[in-house]
Structures are given as structure tokens and as C-alpha cells.
Amino acid sequence: MSPTNDVQAKENAGFPTVRQVSVSAPLRWLALGWADLKSCAIPSLFYGFCFAGMGLLITFVFEHAYEYTSALTSGFLLLGPFLAMGLYEISRRRERNEACALAPTLTVWRRNAGNIGLFAVVLGVVFLVWARASLVVFALFYTNEMPNLSGFLAQILALENLEFLLVYFGVGLIFAAIVFAVSVVSIPMMLDRDQDAITAMLASVGALARNPGAMTLWALVIVVCTVLGFLTFHVGLVVLMPLLGHATWHAYRDLVAPPGASR
């Protein structure tokens, strides 16, 4: 089968058409996301406070067991695409000139519950494996007594125990890359067109493969915004997480052509 016929067959079967975007596209997504945030501030900030509240709760509960805090915080970020569903729906409603209401977004998962649930299971498994891997790395490098939190932070800032830092962040990067690859556009697609989870994840990986430059910049934007949020003791997450959530919706619109559209 020729490449043209193969593409046509995929489209006829309902496989999403992934588009190529400019490297600077993430900056446009942020601008559009900011417009959504300003126009629908109250429901958007509700989700922002939820993100910040969960981050603060994790830090408070596991204050004296930071090896768990690091794993749970990372897992919190891994599950971010699922937690941001309400933000995607806010952008979707604004796109359709519908009211900026919070209530309809709280149960948006019902629209495609089976596939969204399957995707949540996939992310949950990745989170559990990463949490276990995180604890294993700690156990390998701290075979005796664990340092207290201040001592551990001092080691990071002074780049002491460099082998641990390289291994820990290297392993974390692998898990983060996997989640990023399968979740770039998957949940917005499942919400928007009742797409099955497998196809949505494959399309997400395809978007990454076809746009490595733009996706690398987008990943860096996400990391920078998240780090800024945590450096402000989670307060920055109130605004930055909704901004990223809304921008992700516009990333989906940019990266995946509507059904029946040309490439």
C-alpha cells in the first residue's frame, strides 16, 4: 500500500491527523491559554487552588519523610494531565461561546468515562512504578541513616552526592518522558471527539514524533512553570497550572486536525 493510501486508510478508520507546527507554537498556546484564564478566571482559579492545595497537603503530611514527598510530588505531576480535565473543558466551552461555568466541568469525565478511566489507569501504573523506583534509588544511596530534610537540601544545593542526583533525576526523566509522550493531546482528544484511549495515546506520541522542536520547547515551558510554582511554596501553581491547562487545549487544537480536515 502506498503512503498516500495508508494515510487515507487511517483517516477513513478515524485515526487522527497529526499536523506539523512551528517551533515557536508553544508561545502562542500560552498566549491563548492566558486569554482563557482571564476570561474564565473564577472556574480556572478554582482548579489552580486545587493544584496548590494538593501540593501543600503532600508537603505537610510528608514533611518528615521527604523520600516519599519527592515521589508523591513527581507522581502529582505525572497525573497532571488527568487532573486538568476541567481546565480543558473550560477552554472548550469558551471556544463554543458557552458560559464560563464551573459546575459542568466537574463531571466532564462522564463524557468518555471508559477511555478516560483506562488512561487514568495507565498513568496510575506509571506513577506507582515511579514511586517505587524513587524509593529504591534512595535506598541504594542511603544505606545507613537518612539525613534530615535540611541536610538533604544542602546536599542538593552543594551538589554533594552527585551520583545520587544524576541517577535520581535520570530515572525520573525517563518516566516523565513516557508520560509526556502519551499525554500531550490524549485527554483533550478523548473529551472532544470521544476518541478511544489507545488511539489518543498513539496520536499523542505521533504529535511528539512529528514536532520534536515544538514539543521540546513545550516540555521546557511545563517544567519551568512547575518549578516556579513549587519555588513559591505552591502559591504560583494557582495561576500557572490553569495557564498550562488552557494552553494544552490549544496545543491539541493546533496539533490535531479536526475530523475530515486536510493535513
Residue 69's pLDDT is: 61
* pLDDT per residue as tens digits for the range 84-133: 999 999 999 999 999 999 999 999 989 999 999 999 888 888 888 887 88
pLDDT tier at 1 (50, 70, 90 boundaries)? very low
- pLDDT above 50 (res 213): yes
User: CB of 126 within 8 A of CB of 178?
Assistant: yes
Residue 214's pLDDT is: 97
The residue that leads in pLDDT, 56 or 210, is 210
* pLDDT per residue as tens digits for the range 29-87: 999 999 999 999 999 999 999 988 887 877 776 666 655 666 666 666 666 787 799 99
User: CB of 188 within 8 A of CB of 84?
Assistant: no
